[in-house]
Structure 1
Amino acid sequence: MAEIVILLAIKKIGIALAKGATDQASVQFAKYGAQLLELQGSMGRVARELRVMHDVLCKMDIRNRSNLVYEGWLEEVRKVAHVMEDVVDEYLYLVGREHDIGCCFFLKKGFKKPRSLLCLNQIAFKVKDIEKDLSHLSKTKNRWVPMINNEDSSNLSYIVKRSQELANILRSLDEEDLVGVDKNREQLEQWLAGDDQECSVIALLGMGGLGKTALAANVYRKEREKFQCYAWVSISQTYSREDVLRNMIKQLFKDTASVLSSTLAMDIMSLEETLKKYLDQRKYFIIFDDVWDLETFHDLSRMFIHSDNGSRVMLTTREARVAALASRGHI
């Protein structure tokens, strides 16, 4: 995911601009103080631009990710972030090659010492070019990417697409595909199987690309049969409450064609009451995937009647304030 690539580049720049590296650079390039300061200033500007891009990416609705224009722009951002990371590696090696200040510990895995290290000016020129590339990408996004919002991106289409993606994940996801998540998976399974009969809320919190949905899908596949009914609900930044309710009913009443047929003409209030009545009698497991704000969860959670039957609600989110809605100690 581009978000992680950008964060790695930002972290690497932070190491290059930390006190240990800057002090060593000041000693090693004492004769080139002005050039060094200019290079460090350029690195700082690149880091700030990348951080803004990262924040924008984290806030963009995931529906945009399927658009070719957006994907093309995202790939260019990813390339620039990789180039910046390589350039900072060269700088760290140049600064730390004579004195062990710990810089080389942070070099990218597989980094190879060049036969002839780039001089300070060459590195500075590269960083300047990266600055220009990022500025161009920002302008390109403002000029072209907003056009994708004019395309058909209805909430129902989004929900159908996300449901298809989930189905593909559940079919193809093997245990070996989840690396380094055993502790988190075990914790989730313990919370789901806990003795607490109250309906508890569990939150998976993390930035985009960390694998929240994959982990949730793995647990959902393994644990859902332990509940009387279950549903996976995909949310977006802007969602249709009616579409979400109908999607839940479709999953929960999948074996009752007559009920499904009777809900076709129902308004939102009737749909909500139907769900409340159904869930009140059963031990259910509901996952809300990709929840962006507090109001969304509060809106949807009104249908849950806490009838002490061991039901569980799980949500995945990038927002800490949303995760804070989880039951105590269940993030």
Structure 2
Amino acid sequence: MPSSTLLPRIVEKGRFMSVLELSDLPIEKITNAIGDLFNLRHLGLRNSKVKLLPKSIEKLSNLLTLDLYRTNIEELPIGIVKLQRLRHLFVEKASDHSERVFRCLSGICIPKGLRNLQTLQTLEAQSGSIRHLGELGQLRILRIWNVKGVYCGDLCESLAQMQSLSHLTVGASDENVILRLNAPPPNLQKLRLNGQLDEDTLDQSPHFQEAGRYLYSLRLYWSQLRGDPLPSLSRLSNLTELRFSNAYNWEKLVFLTGCFPKLKTLILRDLPSLKCLEIHKGAMASLEELTLWNLSNMMEVPPGLEFLVTIRVLTFYEITPEFLRLLHNCPRIRGTRWWYTLR
């Protein structure tokens, strides 16, 4: 049945349905009759080809989740603010699914008034939306892209009001923007920063001081760090996941004894300056997954891999044939299963 007739028939036959999941279907248009689904709690259009939502969407007064992830929707109808029960809004788009291009993700602007949102993925930053962000006091998960340097002050003020926020992603508008975020939410557990950081950020920002005691996941992308970040980050003793991607412009990383005792996953990707990765005995004592990805200047198998006795997944992506020979001839990882791909 053509998608143009499928949805109207579903709506006609299912007026009492609470979940309508249309993800991955080649649907381009949503019938205006969807507003008649007064009992609808979940509307999923993820990975569809929908470009516009009908005005009647404002009639879905019981809607809790609206999933528009990776659709072609550029703007939300103003009437969406009438959906006061809406808790979860997904509107992110990806131009590069590998996330190796700086501006690979984007969101859309949302009208003021959706005060009860708990999940917002993703807001496209504008001066007005940043200032009003603090009104979303129930937010627990927030992703925001295209943050300009001049927005950082207002963004910090808004974030400081979000007592329930646990997951935060902030992406700068371009590679030269410095993300100055010095007022983190008090209960942050998961943090991803896409953009340049100040030289003193890791030592002075509350994100990485006392306010970071609850952090279990940290992802730093395009940070342009020029000094060793590990002495500062090792204070985050509850981390279970740490990822660097284009984040570090130095030749050496050393994981000292006792650092990151709860870390389960470490991913280092696209660090062209890194030549030496060294792991001391007793470092990352709980590590289960180590991924080294496109570390083009690393010329030796990292000393200390043999100390990672809890490792279950050891992967080397985009390595040279020369480095592959080093791996095959390295006695320190004999008996350890590992995977690789060639560049």
TM-score scaled to structure 2, two decimals? 0.26
Query: Structure 1-normalised TM-score?
Result: 0.26
More strand per residue: 1 or 2?
Answer: 2
| Greater RCO structure (CA 8 Å; 6+ sep) | 1
Which entry has the higher C-alpha Rg, 1 or 2? 1
Structure whose residues are more often helix by fraction? 1
